[in-house]
Structure 1
Amino acid sequence: MPEMPEVQGLAQFLASKLVPQGGAPARVGSIELGSFAVLKTAGVPLAAVSAKAFTGVDRRGKFLILSLEGVYLVMHLARAGWLRWSDTLPDTALRPGKGPIALRLRCSEPAGDGFDLTEAGTKKSAAVYLVREVAEVPGLSRLGPEALDVGQEQFVAMLHGHRSQVKGALRDQSFIAGIGNAYSDEILHAARLSPFALASKLGDEQLGVLHHAMHSVLEAAITAAAGKPAKELKDSKRREMKVHGRTGELCPVCGDTVREVSFANSALQYCPTCQTGGKPLADRRTSRFLK
């Protein structure tokens, strides 16, 4: 799942294409749907953005926000969505329901440029909103503060009042925006904390370490993503992971074997020596903190 660092890198890449510094902004030629279900709004018709110029590209949490003249195209890539940029999009029209492309945006200026919103797998969760005000997007209004905007004192106070396990707290978008399954694994590994530890039971010193880990892991990931084209961002993320997606490999910190706890729709990875006192966690198939 794309998380804040990758969406930030994607926003920077798209900004270089759509609102280049010192150059004319790109303009929309057309938007086609390959999946009618991906569009979650009906108030602004797709045809209304034709010929509009892009005025900015931003990110909030895991949402990508493309600003046009008087409207916003907001996208959430969900579990398996991604944007595939092309300087020479094919001329053929999309066939709805065929293939992984959910949406195609063609630029009229420069002609031929544009991107496809793709989504792998059979469970489709990516969402697109075309709105006149960003506040009209339901998920955006529910987001908590950006992870890197939260100071240590605020973070400690917030976690003291959170009743869930610490991994669930980090992934709760209404609590802190932008962190998902992968980076919560990496942050907890860096902080040497069990994902099952209760957030409200952690001491101030532990929470201070966790806050530092959150900032250091995310800042390093943002730095690694900066300047990379869209097609390289996901592979770059995988290469930087120390425990997430590394089940059976050796922990780069202590040399223990990275373990996994599986759930119905996802899994977490951790190092027993670094995080759980050397004790493997029970591999349960259901858990309240990953709902």
Structure 2
Amino acid sequence: MPEMPEVQGLVDFLDERLRGRAITKTTVAGIAALKTYDPPIDALRGATVTAVRRYGKFAGLATDADVHLVFHLAKAGWLRWYEQLPQTVIRPGKSPIALRVGFDDDAGLDLTEAGTKKSLAVYVVRSPTDVPGIARLGPDPLDADFTRETLAALLHGRRTQIKGVLRDQSIVAGIGNAYSDEILHAARMSPYALAASLGDDEVDRLYAATRETLAEAVAAASGKPPADLKDAKRRGMAVHGRRGQPCAVCGDEVRSVFFADNSLEYCPTCQTGGKILADRRLSRLLK
């Protein structure tokens, strides 16, 4: 799933190319992806893009028609960019393409989704906050006003595991499974640590790790075309997706905990005092 750094990379790429461009085509091929009907998607045609912005893990095109095209790529969605938009006819149900958008310089983009479980979401709204997922977002951890005290207040009293807190979009916006693994590794913290139990030093480490990890990932994504962002993300990971490989910090083996539809990765030496975390369906720790 694209998270804040990759979405920011997409937003920067699109903003550079689309600001000032008029929308000439909107073709919906995956009707389940379009979550709104008022305004209709046809309201985008003829509108000029005034900015492309990120909201957590959502991206949005603002236009001079006071209509916004907002999308969330979810687990298996992605964006294809074309300097010359293909003229082939999209056959609904026969293509991974959910939405095609064309512009007045003949460039364009497709929003695509692989697999059978469809969760890509597209919204046409008068304000980004009309999208329920955006309306409930917590603060963005890279905003200038996201301070150490902001984080401490978000953690205070939460008797939930820190991994889940970082992934909860209503608490902190933009962090998902991959970057929560990376942040916790950088902070030398167990993913099972309870948020409310963290001491001052641990909050300091978590805050620094959050800001630094995300800032470095955003910088790495900056300027890259959409086709290169996934590989750049994988190359930058210290533990996520690296099960069985040596930790770059200490050399211990990176381990996984598996859940119903995903997994987390961590280093026992760096994060859990050498203890191997068990699948939560069995027990909290292997003793």
| Conserved? CA contact 1:86–1:115, under 8 Å | yes
Per-residue CA deviations over 1:29-82 (Å, capped at 9, x if unaligned) read 111112000000000122221121111000010010101121000001111111
Match of 2:246 in 1: 250
Match of 1:32 in 2: 27
The correspondence for 1:54, drawn from 49, 54, 69, is 49
State the one-letter code of the partner of 2:112.
T
Match of 1:123 in 2: 117
Per-residue CA deviations over 1:6-39 (Å, capped at 9, x if unaligned) read 10110000011101xxxxx211111111200000
State the one-letter code of the partner of 1:3.
E
Superposition pairs for residues 69-108 of structure 1, below 5 Å?
69=64, 70-107=66-103
Shift of 1:271: 0.3
| Conserved? CA contact 1:62–1:76, under 8 Å | yes
State the one-letter code of the partner of 2:234.
R
- Tell which deviates more after alignment, 91-100 or 55-64: 91-100
Superposed CA RMSD: 1.4
State the one-letter code of the partner of 1:194.
S
Superposition pairs for residues 159-178 of structure 1, below 5 Å?
159-178=155-174
Per-residue CA deviations over 1:165-217 (Å, capped at 9, x if unaligned) read 00000001000000000000000000000001111111111011100000010
TM-score, scaled relative to structure 1 = 0.94
Match of 2:192 in 1: 196
Q: Distance in 1 between matches of 2:81 and 2:257?
A: 35
State the one-letter code of the partner of 1:46.
I
State the one-letter code of the partner of 1:127.
A
Match of 1:137 in 2: 131
Per-residue CA deviations over 1:121-150 (Å, capped at 9, x if unaligned) read 111111000011222111111000001232
1:275 matched to 2:275? no
TM-score, scaled relative to structure 2 = 0.95
Q: Distance in 1 between matches of 2:256 and 2:224?
A: 30
Q: CA 1:72/1:165 → structure 2, altered by over 3 Å: closer, same or farther?
A: same
| Conserved? CA contact 2:43–2:67, under 8 Å | no
Superposition pairs for residues 167-246 of structure 1, below 5 Å?
167-246=163-242
Match of 1:22 in 2: none
Shift of 1:153: 1.2
1:12 matched to 2:8? no
| Conserved? CA contact 1:163–1:198, under 8 Å | yes
Secondary structure of the corresponding residue to residue 197 of structure 1: coil
Shift of 1:283: 2.3
Identity across the alignment (%):
57
Secondary structure of the corresponding residue to residue 130 of structure 1: strand
Q: Which segments of structure 1 move beyond 4 Å, counting only runs of 4 or more?
A: none
Q: Is there any run of 5+ residues in structure 2 with no aligned partner, and where? A: none
| Conserved? CA contact 2:74–2:119, under 8 Å | yes
Q: Distance in 2 between matches of 1:171 and 1:41?
A: 26
Q: Is there any run of 5+ residues in structure 1 with no aligned partner, and where? A: 20-24
| Conserved? CA contact 1:263–1:286, under 8 Å | no
Q: Distance in 2 between matches of 1:7 and 1:263?
A: 25
| Conserved? CA contact 1:260–1:267, under 8 Å | yes
Q: CA 1:122/1:13 → structure 2, altered by over 3 Å: closer, same or farther?
A: same
